[in-house]
A and B are shown apart, each in its own frame.
Chain A
Amino acid sequence: MTASPTPFDVEAVRRDFPILGRTLADGRPLVYLDAGATSQRPQQVIDAEVAFLTSGNAAVKRGAHQMAEAATDAYEGARERVAAFIGARRAEEIVFTKNATESLNLVAYALGNGDASTPDRLRVREGDEILVTEMEHHANLVPWQELARRTGATLRWIPLGDDFRLDLTDLDSLLTERTKVLALSHQSNVLGTVNPVRELAERARAVGALVVLDACQSVPHMPVSVADLGVDLLAFSGHKMLGPTGIGVLWGRYDVLAELPPFLTGGSMIEEVFMDRSTYAEPPARFEAGTPMVSQAVGLAAACDYLDGLGRENVLAHEGALTRRAIAGLAEIPGVRILGPALSDDRAGAVAFDLAGRHPHDVGQVLDSLGIQVRVGHHCAWPLHRRYGLHGTTRASFSVHTTAAEVDALVDGMAQVVAFFDRFR
């Protein structure tokens, strides 16, 4: 293997992540390869939250005292920061939610909440179709199943091919004038496959379908600009991008958000309230009922600063090199089958694999004893695993602090897994 072409100093990055200094059982150093489930946080993110809580905490958008105004500025400043991070035209296109799952549910519920005053394209009804894909995380599948059930719409899906990419052969019959929504992921959380979003969004626009993108696995790991993608709505989580848990983002094109009915209702999202009816605020306030998560928003803004400081192209290059190294190394382990496209451009840093004859829980248990933290199971993508005849896989996923040595530890760990279970043959 050639030296890693990482364009930043990984050892310096590692010093920003205090958790990487801890050890596990038997004094093993932590090899954290589960960033796809949740990422670790750099000191800068932790400090930003602590600074807000120790000197700036107050309820936002309520009251006129100095503290409330400063807290509101911090919260709205975070919104502007996130907007810039994903290339949104205006901060009002950013809605803060609990997590990406809530962002996707917000859209799925809002599309079923309309009435006669709602534009037809933002109202899913009986006879309409919702198109998803077979690779979706449950968070971008179950809410659409539920929307179909509530409205009488029909759920259809783009199948997965044997090459671990979407099989677009029958797209013309799946994406039609009846399609109201196309919901898909930018990058598969299992296969690593990066979908041709721009092309699909163009096809969807041609038939008048709204495009909803689950960008949980792309936003933390590559440059993502909503202006380039051509989608209408996009969701991601704070905790997968070096930020806090408890905060997610829904970006929506302003003209879409402006006509979308609310999901959660209550305080902060209203314009006028009477005993028998209410009118609603403009976006984003319309979609942020109740007291929002402020310190988390501040932490998320710091995570945007951190990733932009490293350079998102650099992050992509770094994690791409690790992915190639992992795939090349794991391919040498007897019995390992990688679930995902081989080395190519439309493939990013989630490396899921099967070890013949061994359940992923057993594989993960042995890796865990070596300090290697990977995800095992179906990774909230059960239909995807069923498609490939598996109950689950073992998945390694990388972050800015992952080193080539850690990838090698995974490959070596898999050799030890094979040796460990061979004893019982």
Chain B
Amino acid sequence: MTSASLTSLYTDIIFEHDKRPLHAGLREPFEGEVHHVNPTCGDEITLRLHLTGPVDDPVIEDVSYDAQGCAMSRASASMMADLLRGQSVERAAEISDSFELSMASRGKDAGDEELIGDAVALLGASKFPGRVKCVVMPWKAYRAALVESLAALGAAEA
């Protein structure tokens, strides 16, 4: 009934995260907060980032968020928050770079499961150019919040 590419897009793990998103909700404290929208569909995410440690080697203490969107985008936010919490910013950069590179591969790159864990399940969307944006939006929001947070951390240390 349904096509193979559809079932590769919508897997049980995607819906598990969609239904019971991990680390959802906006929390304090935080150093950076961003609000991103996808203008083609109206999806929105507000994301907060809380860093600890020295400004030259900070650790991600918390990623909290409020996401409105499709199953793919909500699952992406949930998986990302779970992956990045507790990581050093340096390690988080490796994870997010690897993930976004795989997402841009149009389905050719199966992804580095050791690095991105459950988020390999999101790569089914890379075959659907119209859906890549949905999945990547939380990650773009993280990058923007990181810039804000690092600036705030630097200002606090100075």
A359 CB within 8 Å of chain B? yes
Within 8 A of B (CB), among A355-392: 359-362, 365-366, 369, 376-378, 382, 385, 391-392
Known contacts A359-B70, A361-B72; A392 and B9 CB within 8 A of each other: no
The residues of A that contact B72 with a CB separation of less than 8 Å are: 361-362
CB atoms of A365 and B42 under 8 A apart? no
User: B interface, how many residues as a size bin?
Assistant: 20 to 34
In the complex, whether B19 has a CB less than 8 A from a CB of chain A is yes
B3:A369 contact, CB within 8 angstroms: yes
Give 1 or 0 for each of A386-420: 1 = CB within 8 Å of chain B CB: 00000110000000000000000000000010001
Min CB–CB distance B35 → chain A (angstroms):
14
Cβ-defined contact, B41 with A366, below 8 A: no
B19 A391 Cβ-Cβ under 8 A: no
B-facing residues in A219-264 (Cβ within 8 Å): none
Asked whether any CB of chain B lies closer than 8 Å to the CB of A25, the reply is yes
**A391 and B43 contact, CB distance less than 8 A:** yes
Q: Answer whether A424 and B2 are a contact pair too, CB < 8 Å, given A362-B70, A391-B41.
A: no
**Contact call A26/B9, Cβ cutoff below 8 A:** no
B115 contacts chain A at the CB level, 8 A cutoff? no
The docked-state distance in angstroms from the alpha carbon of A421 to that of B70 is 12
What is the chain A residue whose CB lies nearest that of B125? A365
- Asked if residues A359 and B6 are in contact (CB atoms below 8 Å), the reply is no
From known contacts A378-B42, A391-B68, infer whether A369 and B15 are also in contact, taking CB-CB under 8 Å. Answer: no
Q: How far is the CA of A392 from the CA of B73 in the complex (A)?
A: 15
Count of chain A residues near B, Cβ 8 A: 20
Contact of A365 with B9 at beta-carbon distance under 8 Å, contacts A376-B41, A382-B42, A391-B42 already known: yes
B2 adjacent to A361 (CB under 8 Å): no
- Interface Cβ pair total, 8 Å cutoff: 58
Q: List chain B residues, Cβ under 8 A from A25.
A: 3, 5
Q: In the bound complex, what is the Cα–Cα distance between A369 and B3 (angstroms)?
A: 6
CB pair B19 A424 closer than 8 Å = yes
Verify A361–B6 contact, CB threshold 8 A: no
Chain B residues positioned under 8 Å from A377 (CB to CB): 40-42
Q: Are the CB atoms of B42 and A369 closer together than 8 Å?
A: no
Complexed CA–CA distance, A361 and B42 (Å) = 11
CB distance from A10 to the nearest CB of B (A): 27
Q: In the complex the two chains form, what is the Cα distance from A26 to B5 in whole Å?
A: 10
B155 within 8 A of A: no
**Bound-state Cα–Cα, A385 to B43, Å:** 12
Distance in angstroms from A361 CB to nearest chain B CB is 4
* Contact present for B3 and A365 (CB under 8 Å): no
A391 to B39, alpha carbons, bound, how many Å? 11
> Cα distance A416–B15 when bound, in Å?
17
27 example contacts (A-B, Cβ-Cβ < 8 A) are as follows: A25-B3, A359-B69, A359-B70, A359-B71, A361-B41, A361-B43, A361-B70, A362-B10, A365-B131, A366-B2, A366-B6, A369-B3, A369-B5, A369-B6, A377-B40, A377-B41, A378-B41, A382-B42, A385-B42, A391-B42, A391-B43, A392-B42, A416-B2, A421-B15, A424-B15, A424-B18, A424-B19
- Where the two chains meet, the residues of B that have a C-beta atom closer than 8 Å to any C-beta of A are 1-3, 5-6, 9-10, 12, 15, 18-19, 40-44, 68-72, 128, 131, 134
Binding site for B on A (CB under 8 A): 25-26, 359-362, 365-366, 369, 376-378, 382, 385, 391-392, 416, 420-421, 424
